[in-house]
């Protein structure tokens, strides 16, 4: 589990974005940022929120065009990701609890990893999910690293970061609105502390100037760039052996960063030119994006060891949607009323002796076992979770089979009396039912997991035995070139589905058979 690496990358990116000064009122921010990259063990919590506000007119328009798409809008416009009780001992020993919220759907979870064993628990699921990293490493060497390799990779990454810091951090311009408050009261992990508070505030206009200055400084620092490229190339070369065929290589199989010094400078220059082009050719659009509508605020709380104990970062973009749509010549932007991004993290017991929650596989189900599950198995397993509602909304349980009488080898057949006959095995197996054949008695048995029904049929007979009860189907089972055909309406009704003829976009006649497993397992 690369929890520390993931969180560390987020932490560093936000800090680099929010600050960028060498020293403010006696606080060396470069040292603070560098120190944050050397956090290997810790306890903490984290919250990330994304809110997108759309106009009622746009929401009504989306609903009128596609009701199904409209149902996803709340899931995508309000996203909250929380991690509580984070405990990271090292890259391969960690535990945490958290919750992912999409609109009104909440998915609570817990993750524990001890060495090569990872256990994931979803609140309400039938059992924990066990992931054997060692087995995955054996099957995909390089794609999945061993615990020893992950520790080795961490050290390589820290070494590369130390070498690259001078270029990436040292060239950052100052932000004008930055303040330092000593002995600021703040709560971290439930404990009342007094820490050094570093506050940063700026709007879109200053952000644009900051970006232009930063790109210019990076481009002009030739010596720093060479050191940066060298550090990355060294990291790629040293770590390539860990990833095997999955590592970045050139045409000759040698470790390759994929970007030389000249190409990197060209990339920086292109970014600078893009900003200049926007300001020159679309000044009103530039002001609408990089103006008072965009604000960024960040508060960092640092202790005496220069460890960041808490950080709160908020980005707000509140444009005039109609004006933005007109300037950008993108009509859909007219309904955008605002975007808010919020991030907060608290850390304690930094690089201390962290005791993670116990990892047990008892009563768990493995990923390998889940690979053999049917759609019904999967939905039943997650039925008590928030994930179940999400899967249902996404249509995971919807099964639809198209059969073309003029194209398919095993095509549907229309009988003289108007019955539509379908190939039994092809249809039943598509809907994940098991089909058995007794050659001696010419009996076919269909076991459908989603409905819990067993259908027993016999070639030449129109009688069907469904869960022990005999039914009369409108047409007997017929065998054509070794393929058993049955009345489609009767089969689909028994499987909890429907059948209808239609014409596709190319004017081909098509038989559509469908059902929704979500509705079947609820009953």
The pLDDT value given to residue 139: 67
| C-alpha to C-alpha distance for 94 and 214, rounded to whole angstroms | 37
In which residue are the tokens 């909304």 written? 393
| C-alpha to C-alpha distance for 205 and 291, rounded to whole angstroms | 5
- Let me know: does 402 contact 510? Beta carbons within 8 Å: yes
Which of the given ranges, 98-102, 142-146, 198-202, has the highest pLDDT on average? Answer: 98-102
- Let me know: does 359 contact 97? Beta carbons within 8 Å: no
Work out the pLDDT band at 18, boundaries 50, 70, 90. very low
Superfamily for 398-522? Copper amine oxidase-like, N-terminal domain (3.30.457.10)
pLDDT at residue 12 above 60? no
Q: Enumerate the β-bridge partners of residue 87.
A: 43, 95
The pLDDT value given to residue 264: 87
Q: What is the pLDDT of residues 20-42, one digit of tens each?
A: 545 666 676 767 777 777 888 99
Neighbours of 110 (CB within 10 A): 17
Total residues found in the chain within this entry: 523
Q: What is the pLDDT of residues 176-210, one digit of tens each?
A: 788 889 999 999 999 999 999 999 898 999 999 99
Q: What is the mean pLDDT of residues 358-380?
A: 91
The pLDDT value given to residue 9: 41
Which residue, among 365, 411, 312, 370, has the nearest Cα to 126 in the 3D structure? 365
| C-alpha to C-alpha distance for 17 and 25, rounded to whole angstroms | 20
Task: Report domain extents, the chain.
Answer: 3-366, 398-522
């Amino acid at each position: 589990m690369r929890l520390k690496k993931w969180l560390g990358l987020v932490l560093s990116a936000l800090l680099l974005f929010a600050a960028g000064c060498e020293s403010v009122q006696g606080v060396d921010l470069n040292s603070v940022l560098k120190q944050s990259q050397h956090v290997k063990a810790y306890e903490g919590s984290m919250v990330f929120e994304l809110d997108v506000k759309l106009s009622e007119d746009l929401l009504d328009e989306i609903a009128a065009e596609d009701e199904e798409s409209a149902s996803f809008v709340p899931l995508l416009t309000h996203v909250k990701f929380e991690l509580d009780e984070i405990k990271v001992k090292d890259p391969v020993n960690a535990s945490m609890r958290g919750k992912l919220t999409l609109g009104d759907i909440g998915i609570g979870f817990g993750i524990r990893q001890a060495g090569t064993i990872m256990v994931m628990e979803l609140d309400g699921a039938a059992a924990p999910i066990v992931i054997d990293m060692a087995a995955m490493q054996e099957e995909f060497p390089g794609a999945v690293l061993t615990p020893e390799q992950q520790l080795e990779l961490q050290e390589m990454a820290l070494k590369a970061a130390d070498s690259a810091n001078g270029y990436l951090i040292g060239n950052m311009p100052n932000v004008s609105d930055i303040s330092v408050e000593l002995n600021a009261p703040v709560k971290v992990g439930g404990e009342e502390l007094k820490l050094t508070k570093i506050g940063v505030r700026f709007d879109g206009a200053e952000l644009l100037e900051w970006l232009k200055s930063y790109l210019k400084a990076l481009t002009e620092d030739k010596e720093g760039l060479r050191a940066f490229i060298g550090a990355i190339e060294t990291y790629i070369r040293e770590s390539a052996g860990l990833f095997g065929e999955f590592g970045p290589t050139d045409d000759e199989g040698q470790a390759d960063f994929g970007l030389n010094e000249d190409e990197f400078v060209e990339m920086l220059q292109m970014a600078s030119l893009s900003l200049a082009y926007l300001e020159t050719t679309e000044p009103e659009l530039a002001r609408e994006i990089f103006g008072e509508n965009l604000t960024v605020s960040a508060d960092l709380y640092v202790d005496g060891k220069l460890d960041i104990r808490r950080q709160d970062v908020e980005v707000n973009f509140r444009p005039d949607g109609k004006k933005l749509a007109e300037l950008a010549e993108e009509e859909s932007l007219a309904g955008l009323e605002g975007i808010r991004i919020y991030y907060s993290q608290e850390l304690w017991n930094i690089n201390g002796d962290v005791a993670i929650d116990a990892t047990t596989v008892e009563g768990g189900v493995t990923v390998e076992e889940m690979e053999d599950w049917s759609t019904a198995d999967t939905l039943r397993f997650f039925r008590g979770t928030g994930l179940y509602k999400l899967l249902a909304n996404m249509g995971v349980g919807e099964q639809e089979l198209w059969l073309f009488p003029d194209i398919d080898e095993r095509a549907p057949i229309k009988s003289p009396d108007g019955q539509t006959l379908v190939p039994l095995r092809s249809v039943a197996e598509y809907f994940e039912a098991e089909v058995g054949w007794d050659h001696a008695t010419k009996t076919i048995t269909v076991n459908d997991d989603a409905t819990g029904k067993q259908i027993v049929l016999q070639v030449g007979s129109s009688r069907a035995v469904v869960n022990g009860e005999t039914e009369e189907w409108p047409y007997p089972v017929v065998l054509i070139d070794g393929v058993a055909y049955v009345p489609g309406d009767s089969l689909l009704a028994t499987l909890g589905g429907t059948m209808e003829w239609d014409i596709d976009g190319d004017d081909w006649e098509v038989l559509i058979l469908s059902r929704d497993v979500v509705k079947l397992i609820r009953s």
